[in-house]
Structure 1
Amino acid sequence: MRGIWFFDDWMLERRDCLERVWGKPTFVKEIFKEFYPAGWDGYGGYPTAFYDERLGKYALYLIAFPGRESRDRTPGISAGEFQFRLLSDDPCNWPNPVYNPTSGPAWRSFDDVVVDQDGAPIWAHAVHSLAGTPLAERGYASAVLDVPRHLTWGGFSDDGVRFTVDRSGPWLDPGSDIAGDILWNREAELYQLFVRPVYGDRRIAMSTTADFTQFTRPVTIMQPDALDRVGTELYDMPPRPYEDFYIGLLNIMTSDRFEEVSLSSDWPQIKYFGRMDTQLAYSYNGLYWYRTKREPFIGVRDYGQVGGGSAYGKEMLRTQDDRLLFFVIGDYGGHAARVDKETEWPYGSGYRSPMLYEMRLDGFCSLKTWGREGVLRTKVIIPRDGEMRLNVRTMAHTG
């Protein structure tokens, strides 16, 4: 343990005249103003962003979503999406994807589309670099979603774009309708795959593996509880390392209480409509997770703006110069609103779009006095190197 971050009081013996203040990222900008091809909904999905040491650039992976009437869909992938990669020297500024219109499926008009060993597009749910882990020589890893067969395959890549997908043995069977975010747990020396327990079960589950060959059965680690309003669903949770513990961007769906679920549908237990925002979760060891204050860490914006109906916090990126950036997928409407949006929003206008947020590196949580002074006493702490650093800010600070 290298620090006390005040997400809870378990290391404290006394806290008087000090209140816990939760920080939030601030909106920076919508990353894109142009969207290709015409008639498609925009870019989103389950993005990942990281500094790629092999390339010496930042990488951002996004999914292009077709509109309802799009004819140039990707065959064989869910609703016809495809995934592509962008590269940039500046994680705050990203180029538009290279788009050269051709006939046939839209994905053929893009550069750096994520494909399998046969050159066919795949939904590589969340691409991660394996740099700094025991399997770094395998390059990049991703779970690959097989929607029709309810399976989660695994794929590895030398270049981050062309993946070798082993379809002889799935990572998870049955899989989930989110293929899973990968986290390397340095303390447990395990790779963790964050998924749902089964298709349509909107809770957070976790499977572990040491070698991407043998996986444990997914175990539910987080579900709505008595502090949540009725109809709350835990949609997804990308986990990321932060200092000496872990942060989870918990996507919360507040479902429409008046929506009637059809028993004749493929997934009769699922509600499609509702607001999407992001709360904060944390873990000291990556295995056991806790939730913070039940309010949005990244909330929806005003109606009529990108993110006015949904704000999916999907990536936390600590840059090479120690800035803390968040990549958030925003929709103009709530979850599944695009299903019937032809009467409310024109196609091809960025209905779904990534947004950039930023927060100071230590901005998650702090203790603040409401009086002249506060009293804080910790449990016994024995510094390993004989030194201790305090992070303190006063009214006189201007920085």
Structure 2
Amino acid sequence: MQIDDQLILITLYTVLLPRFMDKNKILGRRNFIKTVALGAAGVGTAALTGQSLRADSAAVVTPPSPKQDPHQAILFLDNWLIEKQVGLERVWGKPRFVKEVFHDFHPRVLGYGGYASMFWDERVGKYVLYAAVYPPEADPGTFVIRLESDSPYEWADPIYDATVTPAWKGFQQVVVDEKGERFWPIYINTLAGTPQASRGYLMSTYHPDRQIHQSIAGYSADGRHFDMRTMRSWQSARADTWCGWIWNSRAGVYQIHTRPTHVDRRIAIITSRDLENFTPATTVLQPDAIDGPGTEFYSMPAKAYEGMFIGLLHVFDTDAFEEANRVKMAGRVQTQLTYSYNGFNWYRGERTPFVPTREYGQLGGGQVYAMDMLRTKEDKLLFLVEGTKGEHASYPDMQKAGIDTRGAFGPLLYELRLDGFCSMKTRSKDGLLRTKTIIPQSAAISINVRTSTHTAVRVQLLDGVTGLPLPGYTLAEAVPISGDHLFARPQWKGASDLAKLVGKPIRIEIMMREAELFAIRVACHIFVGTDSTVTL
């Protein structure tokens, strides 16, 4: 990412929740300020004296955490960090459709994509896409190919020889086991940036022998050759769905998102510190009373984003008329947005689809599974979405009807503004947003904002204790910001940053005219109360 590592994102549509509970370490009530650096395992709290805007040192309590890093993201998918909101409404963003990834399909396959992954691979200096290839029967004959590209927007069609039988042997760059045989590695990603980086790539899937009820993980030096003899079992059940992993740097664990057990369509997490020993599955998200009967959660890919986590929840609306089967197979899948401050506790804000199905007859008209999200060099969010022409398990009916199912599955690309999950937008002419008290940890501050051509926003800083405007940082002294900016730097007539306010409690107030605000970036701790108890 091309962001100064001293910046914290405060995206104005979420809530600040602390990341870690440590009931045994409590600051005295005489210490006036509790600051909480949010993180998956917490970052610690700092106490300051009760006098306004003084940085006199006091006791510091540091909960145990593998990584003590105060620079994190606070996303406002709810209102926790917003102290005051006038004339504003929350507008939920949705990524725009860009293109279908592939145009040519092998004549004897359903399509490509599936439980795909897309990422920048520093080992080869290219973007990498792992795409499943589905034969007419889909599972169990599925295999995976590795593609490379200089641009995440441009992928060459897979190269194959249609005369070769079985079909997988006619494809190039197939992922294989130690015997050179194809299998279905559901998820593969680089281990770069994690403690196991020297091992290359990590794969998570279910055991290729369908009689063995296990899910397994293993390494590859080149991302294409895996030795099944060295695999480790991480669940005594077949995952039967997307079961990808992420590195949770704050908790110091690898976590796999899966199901509690085979075809139990809820979201569970399994963790490991060493990829040798794994915790039991813990269910972290399931349909609630707001969801309709028959709603199931098919899977949920997740990505680290500015110090927190964004989830792409695959919501399966099963067919109410499929009464004979205990495990439902018919229905539609769309993607909703979820989020977590620590990777373990997950929340749902907007319940409408983040990525909805397209029109009937189009690729994606039956189902849309958002599988991956990456930040481009141009600071855009690019989503890899698996689309199908029919709903879940519809292809056998299509084949019985004599319909050509070639290309019935395929990946799509969608694009979203950086921080564009939602914005705070003026309802009419003017609006105001004020944050709760924060403690800046660096001088830099920026906002992600868009205004009309003839309007602007102004940033005022308030005393974090009294709520009064700080001299030198008032609205009257603020330099207006107009236009469309991802990283606009608030300035005042006598100040260009927060250098004089580092370590001191402030509130940020933004006066907006015909504008929408996506994010505030500032390295900070959060003053959430006088008690030091850290709760999640």
Q: Percent identity?
A: 45
Does residue 116 (structure 1) correspond to residue 177 (structure 2)? The answer is yes
Equivalent residue letter for 1:80: G
Query: Is 1:289 matched up with 2:295?
Result: no
Shift of the alpha carbon at 1:58? 0.7
Greater mean deviation of Cα atoms: 384-393 or 272-281: 384-393
8 Å contact kept, 1:124–1:142: yes
The separation in 2 between residues aligned to 1:12 and 1:379, in whole angstroms, is: 6
Whether the 8 Å CA contact 2:313–2:337 is kept in 1: the answer is yes
Tell me the amino acid that sits aligned with residue 370 of structure 2.
G
2:67 is the alignment partner of 1:10: no
Alignment correspondent of 1:202: 265
Distance 1:170 1:261 in 2: 34
CA distance in 2, matches of 1:18, 1:344: 52
Which amino acid is the alignment partner of residue 123 of structure 2? Answer: R
Q: Structure 2 unaligned runs (5+)? A: 1-6, 14-76, 454-481, 485-536
Going from structure 1 to structure 2, the CA distance change for 1:167 and 1:55 (only over 3 Å counts) comes to closer
What is aligned with 1:63?
132
Match of 1:387 in 2: 444
TM-score by length of 1: 0.92
Offset at 1:243?
A: 1.5
Match of 1:265 in 2: none
Could you tell me how far 1:162 is from its partner in structure 2? 0.5
Cα deviation code 1:126-160 (max 9, x no counterpart): 10100011100000001122243221111210001
* Distance in structure 1 (CA, Å) of the matches to 2:401 and 2:79: 47
Matching residue within 122, 139, 142 for 1:53: 122
Specify the code of the residue in structure 1 equivalent to 2:331.
G
Higher gyration radius (CA): 2
For residue 398 of structure 1, report the CA deviation from its aligned partner. Answer: 6.1
- How has the CA–CA distance of structure 1 residues 141 and 291 changed in structure 2, closer, same or farther, with 3 Å as cutoff? same
Question: Does the residue aligned with 1:108 lie in a helix, a strand or coil?
Answer: helix
Answer yes or no: is 1:370 the counterpart of 2:427.
yes
Q: State the secondary structure of the residue aligned to 2:187.
A: coil
Please list, as runs of the form range in 1=range in 2, the aligned pairs for 1:167-246 lying within 5 A after superposition: 169-178=232-241, 180-246=243-309
How far off is 1:340 after superposition? 0.9
Distance 1:129 1:345, change over 3 A: farther
**Residue aligning to 2:398:** 341
> What CA distance in whole angstroms lies between the structure 1 residues aligned with 2:140 and 2:183?
12
Given that 1:310 and 1:334 are in contact with CA atoms closer than 8 Å, whether structure 2 keeps it comes out as yes
Who is 2:193 aligned against?
132
For the structure 1 residues 345 and 133, does the alpha-carbon distance in structure 2 shift closer, same or farther, using more than 3 Å as the test?
farther
The equivalent residue for 1:35 is 105
For 1:132, the aligned partner's letter is: G
How far apart in 2 are the matches of 1:166 and 1:293?
Answer: 44
Aligned residue number for residue 113 of structure 2: 44
Q: Which residue of 2 aligns with 1:19?
A: 89
Instruction: Say if 2:242 and 2:301, in contact at 8 Å, map to a contact too.
Output: no
With over 3 angstroms needed to count, the CA separation of the structure-2 counterparts of 1:395 and 1:179, relative to structure 1, is closer
Structure 1 residue identity aligned to 2:124 = L
Establish whether residue 329 from structure 1 lines up as the match of residue 386 from structure 2.
yes
State the AA in 2 paired with 1:257: A
Paired with 2:404 and 2:115, the residues of 1 have a C-alpha distance of 21
Contact 2:316–2:332 under 8 Å retained in 1: yes
Two-structure CA RMSD over aligned residues (Å): 1.7
Q: Is the 8 A contact 2:242 2:299 kept in 1?
A: no
Q: Which amino acid aligns with 2:286?
A: Q
Between the two proteins, the alignment pairs up a number of residues equal to 384
Offset of residue 178 of structure 1: 2.4
Distance 2:299 2:232 in 1: 25
Given that 2:265 and 2:296 are in contact with CA atoms closer than 8 Å, whether structure 1 keeps it comes out as yes
Q: Once the 2 structures are TM-superposed, how far is the Cα of residue 344 of structure 1 from its aligned partner?
A: 5.5
CA deviation after TM superposition for structure 1 residue 105, in Å: 1.2
Amino acid at match of 2:364: G
On the 8 A contact 2:399/2:405 being kept in 1, the answer is no
C-alpha distance in 2 between matches for 1:25 and 1:382:
33
The separation in 2 between residues aligned to 1:65 and 1:388, in whole angstroms, is 48
Shift in Å, 1:245: 1.2
Contact 1:145 1:179 in 2 (8 A): no
- Give the match for residue 144 of structure 1: 205
Which of 408, 427, 448 aligns to 1:351? It is 408
Answer whether contact 1:67 1:347 (CA < 8 A) is retained. Answer: no
Q: Describe the SS at the equivalent of 1:388.
A: strand
The range that moved more, 190-199 or 96-105, is 96-105
